[in-house]
Amino acid sequence: MSASEAVQSAEGPKGLARLGTNTLSWLQAAPLTLVLALFLIFPIVTIVIVSFWDYSEYALIPDLILDNYTYLLSSPVTWSIFLSTLGYAAASWILTLLIGFTVAYFLAFHVRTLTWQIVLFMVCTIPFWTSNVIRMISWIPVLGRNGLVNQGLMGVGIIDHPLEFLLFSDFAVILAFVHLYTLFMVVPIFNSMMRIDRSLLEAAADQGASAWQTLWSVIVPLCRPGIVIGSIFVVTLVMGDFITVRLMSGGQGASVGVMMNNEISLLQYPAAAADAVVLLAVVLLMVFGMLKAVDIRREL
C-alpha cells in the first residue's frame, strides 16, 4: 500500500465522523429553521410582495408598482404620523429607562436577601398576568374627568376644575406605554446588575469615589447590555402598538399602527403592507444603531 492510500484509509473514518456530525447538526437545527421560515420569513416576504400590488375599492390587483411607496413617502400626513410614533417611542423609552433602572438598582443593590428580591420581583410581575387591555382600561376611572385624580386634586383645593389632559390625550398614551412596558426594561437591567462583581464597587469606594461617581463610572457602563436589550424591547413594542394609542387617546392620537389598522379595515392591504415594510425598516435601523453602540455578545 502506498503512503497516499494509507493516509486516505486512515482519514476515511474521521471524514465519515465529521459528515455524520454535520448531518446531525443540520437535523437539530431543522425544526427551528422550519418554524422561522414559516412564521417569520414567509410572512415578511408576503407582506413585501403585497406592498407592490395595486388595489381598488373591492379587489386586490397583483402588480409591480411603486404607487404605495410613492404616496407614503410623499405625503405630509404619513410623515407626521411617523414622527408622532417616534415621539411616543422616545418619550416611553426615556421614562421606562429611568423607572426601570431605578427599580433594578434598588432590587440589585439595596435588597440584600435573595428571598426578598424574588418577592419584590414577583410584585412587579403580577400585574403582567392580566390582559394589556384590562390594565389600560383601569386608568379610565383614575384619570377621567370625574376620576380619582381630578376628584382628589379638587378636594384638596389644588385645582378648581377637572384637568382635561389626563385622559384621551398623548399624556394618557405615554402613561399607558410606561405602565405596560417598564418591566421589559427592569428585567434585562436587573440581570446585568446582578452580574456585576461587588468587589468593583468596593474598589471604587476605597479609591474615594462617591455614590454618584460609582454609579456613572462603574454601574452604568457595566449595565449597557441590559439597557440596550431593554431599549430594544420597549422601542419595538411601542413602534408597533396601535391598541394603546387608539384606546388611551380616545381615537384622537395617530401612530403607524393605527394607520395600518385603518387601511386594513378599508381593505387597502397593499397600502398597509407598504406602511409595514417602511415601519419594519425604521425599527431595524433603530435596533441596528443600538446594537452598534454596544457589542452585546462581547459584554455579556
Q: Where are the domains of the chain?
A: 77-299
Question: According to the model, what pLDDT value does residue 3 have?
Answer: 47
Say whether 64 sits in a helix, a strand or coil: coil
Question: According to the model, what pLDDT value does residue 89 have?
Answer: 95
Question: According to the model, what pLDDT value does residue 8 have?
Answer: 46
Question: According to the model, what pLDDT value does residue 286 have?
Answer: 93
Which pTM value belongs to this model?
Answer: 0.85
Give the cell for residue 62.
397583483
Residue 116, strand partner residues: none
The amino acid sitting at 79 is W
The residue ranges of DSSP E strands in the chain, in sequence order, are 54-55, 60-61
Closest Cα partner for 293 from 236, 203, 231, 219?
A: 231
pLDDT by 10-residue block (mean), the chain, 300 residues: 47 58 78 89 94 88 91 92 95 96 91 84 81 86 88 88 88 93 92 88 86 89 92 94 89 89 91 95 93 71
User: Are the CB atoms for 82 and 90 separated by under 8 Å?
Assistant: no
Say whether domain 77-299 belongs to CATH 2.60.40.10.
no
Question: According to the model, what pLDDT value does residue 18 have?
Answer: 67
The amino acid sitting at 132 is N
CA separation for the pair 48, 270 (Å, rounded): 9
The amino acid sitting at 235 is V
Question: According to the model, what pLDDT value does residue 268 have?
Answer: 92
Question: Residue 161 — φ and ψ, nearest 5°?
Answer: -140, 160
